[in-house]
């Protein structure tokens, strides 16, 4: 009987290891801290004026968000993209010293049901996802968001103005009926990059409108229309 090669054994090991990593749920720690959100206030009006919307909420599962959105008559789908992108085993080692690591983009999206062919959403709660995912995933993710967001649909995104300091921890955003969102610290993922307004407009050039909301803390929001 022919023994498998060392490379074949390594592939089997990595497959099992990656599968175990993906099964681990994101851990939410610490108290929920309310934060006034102008972007959420603007989007909430849209959610209350419309019925039967399909919503993609990006982040760890939040029963509070599910209950809030379904009580408004909408359907909600959740995708924990930051956790999956960083801990799912999709990053590829650099091909040479000094080169940045790669990313298995197609494998990542094939694994995620939210981006399967035919899937469409009226609202995407993107939150601060783009600040934390690997660089190689940023543009492909925005491209997929364009594909799954219906014309006239809304995307609510948040961005940090600083890479370190207060308000830069990776958090889950919980929705409320008022003007606040509740931020709850999650895993200790570092911010990968800081975007300028111009850079955000360039990244989302396939969207028809962008409305920026500035705040006193290190976090600001953008409400985009597809």
pLDDT of 58 > 80? The answer is yes
Give residue-wise pLDDT tens across range 120-144: 999 999 999 999 999 999 999 999 9
* 8 falls within a domain: no
* 35 falls within a domain: yes
User: What is each CA distance from 36 to 117, 132, 194, in whole angstroms?
Assistant: 36, 22, 21
**Structural contact between residues 89 and 17, judged by C-beta atoms closer than 8 angstroms:** yes
Per-residue confidence (pLDDT) for residue 125, from 0 to 100: 98
Per-residue confidence (pLDDT) for residue 25, from 0 to 100: 66
Q: How far, in whole angstroms, is CA 119 from its chain's centroid?
A: 17
Range of the domain at 199: 28-225
Mean pLDDT within 86-98: 89
Kindly report the CATH number assigned to the domain that includes residue 149: 3.40.50.150
Give residue-wise pLDDT tens across range 141-184: 999 999 999 999 999 999 999 999 888 999 999 999 999 999 99
pLDDT of 8 > 90? The answer is no
pLDDT of 10 > 70? The answer is no
**Structural contact between residues 159 and 219, judged by C-beta atoms closer than 8 angstroms:** yes
* 153 falls within a domain: yes
pLDDT of 192 > 80? The answer is yes
* 170 falls within a domain: yes
Q: Report percent pLDDT > 90 for the chain.
A: 77
* 23 falls within a domain: no
* 15 falls within a domain: no
Q: Report percent pLDDT > 70 for the chain.
A: 89
Confidence of residue 22 (pLDDT cuts 50, 70, 90): very low
Q: How many domains is the chain built from?
A: 1
* 69 falls within a domain: yes
* 210 falls within a domain: yes
């Amino acid at each position: 009987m022919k023994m498998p090669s060392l490379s074949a054994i390594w592939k089997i090991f990595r497959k099992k290891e990656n599968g175990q990593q993906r099964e681990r749920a994101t851990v939410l720690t610490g108290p929920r801290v309310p934060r006034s959100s102008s972007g959420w206030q603007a989007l909430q009006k849209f959610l209350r004026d419309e019925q039967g919307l399909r919503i993609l909420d990006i982040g760890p599962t939040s029963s509070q968000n599910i209950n809030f959105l379904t009580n408004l008559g909408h359907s909600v789908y959740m995708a924990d993209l930051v956790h999956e992108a960083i801990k799912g085993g999709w990053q590829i080692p650099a091909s040479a010293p000094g080169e940045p690591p790669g990313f298995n983009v197609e494998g990542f999206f094939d694994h995620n049901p939210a981006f399967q062919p035919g899937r469409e959403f009226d609202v995407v709660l993107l939150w601060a996802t783009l600040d934390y995912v690997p660089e190689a995933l940023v543009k492909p993710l925005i491209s997929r968001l364009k594909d799954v967001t219906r014309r006239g649909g809304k995307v609510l995104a948040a961005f940090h103005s600083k890479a370190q300091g207060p308000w830069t921890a990776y958090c889950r955003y919980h929705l409320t009926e008022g003007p606040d969102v509740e931020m709850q610290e999650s895993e200790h993922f570092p911010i990968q990059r800081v975007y300028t307004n111009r850079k955000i407009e360039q990244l989302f050039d396939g969207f028809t409108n962008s409305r920026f909301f500035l705040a006193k803390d290190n976090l600001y929001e953008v409400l985009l229309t597809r």
